[in-house]
Amino acid sequence: MKANQLQVKQIRLNIGGVSILNDVSFSLSEGDRVGLVGPNGAGKTSVINCITQFEKRYQGEVTFSNKLLNKENPQDLPKYKIIRTFQNLGLFNELTVLENFYIAAHQSFESKLKNVFKLEKEVKQEALTLLEHESINLHDIVSDLSYGQQKIVEFLCALIQRPSVLILDEPAAGLNDFEKNRMIEMILKKQQELNFSLLVVEHDVNFVSTLCQNVVVLQSGELLCSGSPEEVFKRKEVIQAWIGESNV
Ligand SMILES: Nc1ncnc2c1ncn2[C@@H]1O[C@H](COP(=O)(O)OP(=O)(O)O)[C@@H](O)[C@H]1O
Ligand SMILES: [Mg+2]
């Protein structure tokens, strides 16, 4: 059996007397691809914020390879190779694609000043390889790219940090079907090459079913159920809670 890599244990989050998350537990093992799904406002992004320590007001435990992360700061998470993307794109719009790669790499690889040039040379080389089959140029300004291209750049900025756990918050939101399929292909290909485990928040049932081996369903901050996509998406309570109200 594979060892648990990332564990979320009995997370509770109350903000201003409102319960946002209630007793949420699940885990991710090496090489897993887990989908975190649920209706809008279910608490999916809040779970990611707790895992990555952007949200500190929670109770419960988050561990990585049995090390407690609760006391860490969000900027320390890349040290553990836990890398996330943001629902509303975490890119610097006025900068070039390459500059965004540099910033991502600097967040992850503490570089002493004398090594900056070496790091940036390596990053540039790697960025060129990552963008090989894309119609995106290293010197393009991010805001000049289509939304789909920006989503790809954000994903690649996460990859350049060599994640061991990659957390994607709605990587397919706003993409058309063609772009969604490309995103799935790209994630699967890169996972094979780079061997990270994946936690992905997404609304699209087809996207999650194609990509993930396991699904965790949240509703109103509570874990409704979990299991394989085939099993979970058939359940009456899941259809009632979520699929019925979504665009599927
Ligand atoms: N920082 C915050 N302060 C107060 N309420 C919040 C905060 N972040 C999220 N919430 C609330 O928590 C609930 C869950 O939000 P969120 O985690 O963003 O859901 P999801 O990602 O599943 O759509 C929502 O009702 C939202 O309004
Ligand atoms: Mg969200």
Q: Which residue in 218, 216, 238 sits closest to 228, CA to CA? A: 216
In the structure encoding, which two tokens stand for residue 25, read together? 């537990």
In the structure encoding, which two tokens stand for residue 119, read together? 């790091």
In the structure encoding, which two tokens stand for residue 165, read together? 């756990």
Q: Could you say which ligand is closest to the alpha carbon of residue 51?
A: 1
Residue 50 pLDDT level (bands cut at 50, 70, 90): very high
What's the pLDDT score for residue 120? 85
Measured over all CA atoms, what is the biggest interatomic distance in the chain, rounded to whole angstroms?
59
Section 46-73 average pLDDT:
95
Q: How do residues 177-197 score in pLDDT, each as one tens digit?
A: 999 999 999 999 999 999 999
Q: What are the DSSP E strand ranges found in the chain?
A: 4-15, 18-29, 33-37, 58-64, 67-68, 82-84, 165-169, 197-201, 214-219, 222-227
Q: How do residues 91-111 score in pLDDT, each as one tens digit?
A: 999 999 999 999 988 887 766
Long-range contacts of 54-59 (CB under 8 A, 24+ apart): 55/13, 57/13, 57/14, 57/15, 58/11, 58/12, 58/13, 58/21, 59/10, 59/11, 59/12, 59/13
Report whether 44 contacts 224 (CB < 8 A): no
Of 13, 14, 20, which is best to mutate to test ligand 1, by the most ligand atoms within 8 angstroms of its C-beta? Answer: 20
Section 121-132 average pLDDT:
88
Q: Which residue has the higher pLDDT, 170 or 118?
A: 170
The residue type of 93 is: N
Among 96-110, 112-126, 151-165, 193-207, the range scoring the smallest mean pLDDT is: 112-126
In the structure encoding, which two tokens stand for residue 43, read together? 């608490």
Looking at the predicted structure, is the pLDDT value of residue 244 above 60?
Answer: no
What's the pLDDT score for residue 247? 45
| CB within 8 Å of 81: residues ≥ 6 apart | 108, 161, 162, 163, 164, 165, 196
Which residue in this structure is represented by tokens 């903000």?
15
Q: Which residue in 223, 200, 237, 199 sits closest to 60, CA to CA? A: 223
Which residue in this structure is represented by tokens 């969604």?
180
Measured in angstroms, how far is the CA atom of residue 155 from the centroid of ligand 1?
23
Looking at the predicted structure, is the pLDDT value of residue 156 above 80?
Answer: yes
Looking at the predicted structure, is the pLDDT value of residue 248 above 50?
Answer: no
Domain boundaries, the chain: 30-43+74-245
Measured in angstroms, how far is the CA atom of residue 45 from the centroid of ligand 2?
4
Cα dihedral sign for 221, 226, 229, 233? Answer: negative
* Atom number of ligand 1 nearest to Cα 46: 17
Measured in angstroms, how far is the CA atom of residue 48 from the centroid of ligand 2?
9
Which residues have their alpha-adjacent CB atom under 5 A from ion ligand 2? 44-45, 87
What's the pLDDT score for residue 112? 59
User: For a pLDDT cut of 70, what percent of the chain falls above it?
Assistant: 94
Q: How do residues 201-231 score in pLDDT, each as one tens digit?
A: 998 889 999 999 999 999 999 999 999 999 9
Q: Which fold has domain 30-43+74-245?
A: Rossmann fold (3.40.50)
